[in-house]
Amino acid sequence: MTFENILEEIGGFGPFQITFMVLLFVPRMVLPCHFLLNNFIAASPPHRCDISTLGGGGLFRNLTREQRLTVGLPVREDGAPKSCEMFTEPQFQLLANSSDAGNLSTVQCRSGWVYDNSTFTSTIATEVRLFVFTLCVTNISILNLLPTRTCRYGRKNTLLASYVMSIVFGFASAFANSYIVFAVLRFLTGFGLTGIIANVVVIGELTKLMVGSLSWSVGNMLLAGLAYLINDWRTLTMVVTAPLGFAVLTWWIPESARWLLAHGKVEKAQFYLEKCAKFNKRPKVSSNVLLETLSDTEKQDKSYTYLHLIKTPKMRRLTLLTGIVFGVALTYYAISLNIGGFGLNIYLTHFIYAAIEVPAKLVIYFCLDIFGRKKCQAGTLLLTGISIVVNIFIPRDLWHVRVVVAVLGKGLSESAFTTVFLYTTELYPTVVRQNGMGYSNFMSRLGVTVAPLVLLLVDVWSVLPQIIICTVAIGSGLAALLLPETLNVRLPETIEDVEKTRSIKKKVYGHNNINTCTIKPSECFRIAFFK
């Protein structure tokens, strides 16, 4: 019997797990609000050079506002003033003939910028003059390059410290008045958020329901609504951080039973498991002797390191391919961060992008047992890439068609991201599964780091970011085709099992050994509701 069988013995998904789900829903929901917060707090609204100090004497000061803009600023093809250029001196002749502006000398803004505050009261760009995607990298990628496990001090203690750190530095960042201060505070906030990611999932190992995954989508949709109602970036930052105060109150939840067994604390693990069984009105768990055996097994698994992922030929191949498949993270975040240019305001685009995740999760949930993991993973990635390619060739005038294709691609990328966690979990053998998932998470977070940098390449060539994103998606999909199918196949327990051909079919779904059957799709949502 394995630890997963123990969980089924104490009630599977019962009242105790439902209570857990409700208590952990809030911190899960806060995560996308912080991950994608830069879509709003770092937005750069329409702006132009400040020409209030432009020379020209009393004649310039006597002009109307529209006339000052005409003689002081060059215009784009659409007739709007250029954002970062101004004339070296007032060009009064343009009041009579504006067609002569093409050959006039211009310079970069001399006295700063004037921003359009009709959409945002204030953003980081307007107050601190920060470069938008630099902050994206600081906020998203740095917090994702941290270790995924904190085993020394226990999950509960680490989770509490993560809550407190996220609250303190999250609120403090709302009062930053310089680039350095803001970047440092967001960096430290990232530490706390990473701790929440790493530990809420593990502590919540008794919770098995896809609702856990939907909390990400709910938080994502909520962010769009909050950003629409709150136009000041400082207030918005505080509002999305505040719910973690409620999360601190849930600290009384029990420690991870698996962690307790891995550290030899069998009696405490049995206490929490029996508490869960009693809450679910189920018989007491298996004997202390069995838990002692499981504890020894968990300790033995800890002796494996990341080096075991590359020591043998097939493990090296598996590690390489799963790392490539996790390029889906770059695709997902690049699409999520690119919410402009579709003819809709950014709030509606962000909300639609978040809402499409719900049906995407539901559909993939049922497809996994119909078409298999391999086909679902490769198919969703390839279709994501194709959607991006199609959008490159759709004229910008057909913005409604572009929106439909973009939303379809976003939904497919979400399905691919949801699948990859379940699929990878089944591919790695039991003894190095934690190490394998740690490596996969790192590759995922590396993609998150690169995503905002890829979007910056729009200044080099307008379609270059889309070309890179679709190439990564298609490349990841092709790599998935080289992986073995895990549906209805005996899952590996040791590295030796991977080195041998795995073709033993399961006879009954739900065999008494979790390693001889496919992990249930609902387990995917327990493992992978965080991006």
Distance between CA atoms of residues 243 and 228, nearest Å: 18
Do the Cβ atoms of 223 and 33 come closer than 8 Å? yes
Is 10's pLDDT higher than 70?
no
pLDDT digits over 206-247, tens only?
A: 444 455 578 889 999 999 999 999 988 899 999 999 999 988
47 closest CA partner among 95, 70, 80: 80
DSSP assignment letter at 139: I
Angle between helices 373-393 and 464-481 (to 10 degrees): 160
Q: Which of 116-130, 143-157, 274-288 has the lowest mean pLDDT?
A: 143-157
C-alpha dihedral sign at 329, 346, 136, 215: negative
Do the Cβ atoms of 418 and 525 come closer than 8 Å? yes
Looking at residue 131, what is its pLDDT? 46
Q: What pTM, to 2 d.p., does this model score?
A: 0.79
Looking at residue 50, what is its pLDDT? 84
294 closest CA partner among 316, 321, 262: 262
pLDDT bracket for residue 170 (50, 70, 90): very high
Q: Which of 269-278, 348-357, 477-486 has the lowest mean pLDDT?
A: 269-278
Rounded (5°) CA angle 154-160-300: 15
Distance between CA atoms of residues 350 and 236, nearest Å: 16
Residue with tokens 């910028």: 113
User: Residue range 265-288: average pLDDT?
Assistant: 74
Looking at residue 49, what is its pLDDT? 86
DSSP assignment letter at 469: H
Distance between CA atoms of residues 383 and 412, nearest Å: 7
Distance between CA atoms of residues 152 and 161, nearest Å: 13
pLDDT bracket for residue 78 (50, 70, 90): low
Do the Cβ atoms of 32 and 531 come closer than 8 Å? yes
Partners of 87 in the β-ladder: 106
**Neighbour count for residue 462 (Cβ, 10 Å):** 11
Rounded (5°) CA angle 42-45-48: 130
Distance between CA atoms of residues 4 and 69, nearest Å: 69
Q: What is the biggest distance separating any 2 CA atoms in the chain, rounded to whole angstroms?
A: 95
pLDDT digits over 327-340, tens only?
A: 999 999 999 988 87
Structure-token pair, residue 301: 């698994």
- Supply the mean pLDDT for the chain: 79
Looking at residue 206, what is its pLDDT? 42
Do the Cβ atoms of 465 and 495 come closer than 8 Å? no
Distance between CA atoms of residues 248 and 162, nearest Å: 10
pLDDT digits over 36-59, tens only?
A: 888 888 776 777 888 887 876 667
Rounded (5°) CA angle 448-452-457: 135
Distance between CA atoms of residues 136 and 178, nearest Å: 16
Do the Cβ atoms of 377 and 416 come closer than 8 Å? yes
User: Residue range 87-110: average pLDDT?
Assistant: 79
Q: Which are the contacts of 387, defined by CB distance < 8 A and separation ≥ 6?
A: 405, 406, 408, 409, 412
Do the Cβ atoms of 374 and 489 come closer than 8 Å? no
424: exposed, middle or buried (Cβ count in 10 Å: 0-12, 13-18, 19+)? buried
User: Residue range 446-471: average pLDDT?
Assistant: 89
Structure-token pair, residue 83: 């954002």
Q: Which helix (H) or strand (E) holds 21?
A: helix 15-35
Partners of 107 in the β-ladder: 86
Q: Which helix (H) or strand (E) holds 322?
A: helix 313-325
**Neighbour count for residue 483 (Cβ, 10 Å):** 20
Residue type, 480: A
Please state, in angstroms and as integers, the Cα–Cα distance from residue 355 to each residue in 75, 336, 350, 415, following that order. Answer: 38, 12, 9, 13
447: exposed, middle or buried (Cβ count in 10 Å: 0-12, 13-18, 19+)? buried
Q: Best-predicted range by mean pLDDT among 99-103, 193-197, 255-259?
A: 193-197
Rounded (5°) CA angle 290-291-295: 120
Phi-psi region of 11 (alpha: psi -120 to 50; beta: other; left: phi over 0): left
Looking at residue 511, what is its pLDDT? 38
Q: Which are the contacts of 9, defined by CB distance < 8 A and separation ≥ 6?
A: 277, 282, 285, 286
Is 125's pLDDT higher than 80?
no
User: Residue range 171-197: average pLDDT?
Assistant: 84
Looking at residue 135, what is its pLDDT? 46
422 closest CA partner among 481, 485, 469: 485
pLDDT bracket for residue 345 (50, 70, 90): confident
The torsion of the CA quartet 79, 81, 85, 89, rounded to 10 degrees, works out to 90
pLDDT digits over 439-451, tens only?
A: 888 888 888 888 8
pLDDT bracket for residue 201 (50, 70, 90): low
DSSP E strand boundaries for 14-148: 47-49, 85-87, 106-108, 113-115
C-alpha dihedral sign at 81, 82, 85, 87: negative
Structure-token pair, residue 187: 């960096």
CATH number of 305-531: 1.20.1250.20
315 closest CA partner among 77, 496, 61: 496
Distance between CA atoms of residues 240 and 227, nearest Å: 10
User: Residue range 376-398: average pLDDT?
Assistant: 94
Which is more confidently placed, 203 or 184?
184
Residue spans of the domains in the chain: they are: 1-45+149-164+200-303, 47-115, 305-531
